Amino acid sequence: MNKNKIIISLITISMLLLSNIVAYSQHFSSEKEQKILNSLETLDNEIVKYFPRWKVCEPNLQLHIYNIFKQAGYPAERLNSSNIEVLAAPGQFDTENGNYQILLVQCGDAAMQPSKINLYFTAQLRKKLSGEESYSGVGIGRTYCYKEIPPEVPVSTYQAEAIINYYQPTDVTHAISLSLFEQDLKLGESGFWLKNVLGNDDVGYQFWSTGQVSIQLQRPLYENKDIRTSRAIPYLISLYIGGGYRITTGLNPAGTMFSWVPQRILNASQSGDFVAGMDFHFPFATEFGISAHAKVPLQSPKTKSIKASDWGHYNIENMVIDGKHEPVEDELTLETYNNVVPIIQSSGRVSLFYNLWLDRKRPENYFRFDLGINYVGTREMALIGDPAVTPNDLEIKNDNITGLLNYKSEGLDYLYFKLEYRNQATWPFGVSLQISNQILLTKVWVPILGNWFLIEAKHSNVLRDLHPFELKNFFMLSPVIRITI
């Protein structure tokens, strides 16, 4: 089978599938039909270029469409009345006469998807543009001046949609991203996201470094009315709310599939955490904004019976000898203890951000800059008992105990800076560099199969003197599955 036959077969199959989709949509409400049409927009350009496309050359119709784009708020400098293109699919009525279902109308460098076409184009104009009704009043089909665009001509719409977060795309109806670091689920067109996050990247403690996992619901507020940025930033405010819980994973990875990952010592809070945050885009300049996120324990540390295998701990005997730690002693019994359990307490970040696309017409190169402050606190608790003798019958406490240390952010620890770059052209990839809590955290992700299977790598490096519960270097690699509809 030669190349031409293969192409013809692919086109035939695609058109049959599209016809079935549209026929099936007749049994749905207009809202569900719109979802189907929106999903067609996400098809690869190599497939879309075989869809029916044509240029509108009817002067009165050109002027009419141009004025509709202006009234919808699109900047005049992006519009061109002599360059109007229509992207369509076979319609749900008589296709033999050239009738179509409009998927996209482009005027110059601005484009409208079905939701906006239905909002700004009258029903009569949509029918005349598609050929369901005669524009001239004589004949059938598209009776206005138009020129078909052959498949050989590349698709002139955006090569990539402008989005802020590649794992949380805003240009699709449904999305799910799965990795060892984070799992994200978009709840349809509601704009809600459900997230499960391992670690605390904001303060440089990635993956299982802290023994923390948080479940968050991201709720959007206040629709963005700015035509320039509404596709990438559909809402001006996003609220995050959820809870964190403690895990034992990482305390003893030896003999597991993660035996190559560093063993952790730090522990999440005893009672779990309250997690909250907000991303606010300034209405007068939506590329700019302020972001705030915090994790706060539900209860203060208290005396608790534990199993040694469920909690990270370290021996301070050598540190006391070296003068790097005070002896830990019970004031009531005057008994001295050699082991302590570090527990992370409150943490948070407040930062100003700026989103930058080098070319909004083709938003393939994206930068994000964050600058602000962050905070993290960690407390020690005395480990009562000998883990080597009674590993399942121990106690941690801090009441009436002297010599326990509180590690809090100070000096340069407060500095938070993050730079992110993403290229989402033919071969999308992303890199980021972050400094917070004087820890350098770098991240890289690259595609392996299409844009649905990726590899993500994170590496953290402490730039200051180590706290006893910290790891100088921490590297972690994870596969990522990204599905969008």
Among 23-37, 118-132, 266-280, 441-455, whose mean pLDDT is lowest? 23-37
- 3 state DSSP class of 454: strand
What is the token pair recorded at 218? 């991201």
Q: How confident is the model at residue 427 (pLDDT cuts 50, 70, 90)?
A: confident
Tell me, what's the pLDDT at 115?
78
User: Across residues 297-325, what is the average pLDDT?
Assistant: 92
Distance from C-alpha of 280 to C-alpha of 408, rounded to nearest angstrom: 28
Among 213-227, 336-350, 463-477, whose mean pLDDT is lowest? 213-227
If you average pLDDT over every residue of the chain, what do you get? Answer: 85
Among 116-120, 284-288, 293-297, 473-477, whose mean pLDDT is lowest? 116-120
pLDDT in tens, 363-378: 778 999 999 999 999 9
Characterize 330-355 residue by residue with b for buried, 16 or more Cβ atoms within 10 angstroms of its Cβ, and e for exposed: beeeeeebbbbbbbbbbbbbbbebeb
Distance from C-alpha of 384 to C-alpha of 335, rounded to nearest angstrom: 10
Domain layout of the chain by residue ranges: 3-148, 175-484
Tell me, what's the pLDDT at 425?
67
SS3 content of the chain, % helix, strand, coil (to 5): 20, 40, 40
Q: Is the pLDDT of residue 249 over 70?
A: yes
Tell me, what's the pLDDT at 48?
62
Q: Is the pLDDT of residue 121 over 50?
A: yes
Distance from C-alpha of 272 to C-alpha of 216, rounded to nearest angstrom: 13
Tell me, what's the pLDDT at 209?
94
User: Across residues 112-126, what is the average pLDDT?
Assistant: 88
Q: Are 121 and 38 in contact (CB under 8 A)?
A: no
Among 113-127, 140-154, 326-340, whose mean pLDDT is lowest? 140-154
User: Across residues 322-326, what is the average pLDDT?
Assistant: 90
**CB within 8 Å of 55: residues ≥ 6 apart:** 83, 84, 85, 86, 146, 147, 149
What is the token pair recorded at 301? 């540390």
> CA 427 → CA 42, 72, 349, 424, 477, distances in Å?
16, 33, 32, 6, 20
Tell me, what's the pLDDT at 143?
87
Q: Is the pLDDT of residue 458 over 90?
A: yes
Tell me, what's the pLDDT at 343?
96
Q: Is the pLDDT of residue 92 over 60?
A: no
Tell me, what's the pLDDT at 360?
72
Using a pLDDT cut of 90, give the percent of the chain over it: 53
**CB within 8 Å of 352: residues ≥ 6 apart:** 288, 289, 290, 291, 370, 371, 372
Tell me, what's the pLDDT at 165?
84
**CB within 8 Å of 42: residues ≥ 6 apart:** 171, 172, 484, 485
**CB within 8 Å of 77: residues ≥ 6 apart:** none
Tell me, what's the pLDDT at 24?
39
pTM (two decimals): 0.70
Tell me, what's the pLDDT at 169?
82
Q: How confident is the model at residue 11 (pLDDT cuts 50, 70, 90)?
A: very low
Distance from C-alpha of 276 to C-alpha of 318, rounded to nearest angstrom: 39
Q: List phi, psi (to 5°) of 158.
A: -55, 135
Q: Is the pLDDT of residue 104 over 70?
A: yes
Distance from C-alpha of 327 to C-alpha of 339, rounded to nearest angstrom: 10
Q: How confident is the model at residue 30 (pLDDT cuts 50, 70, 90)?
A: very low
Among 134-138, 173-177, 287-291, 447-451, whose mean pLDDT is lowest? 447-451
Q: How confident is the model at residue 154 (pLDDT cuts 50, 70, 90)?
A: low
User: Across residues 177-197, what is the average pLDDT?
Assistant: 91
User: Across residues 4-11, what is the average pLDDT?
Assistant: 45
Tell me, what's the pLDDT at 94?
46
Q: How far apart, in Å, do the first and last CA atoms of the chain sit?
A: 32
Using a pLDDT cut of 70, give the percent of the chain over it: 85
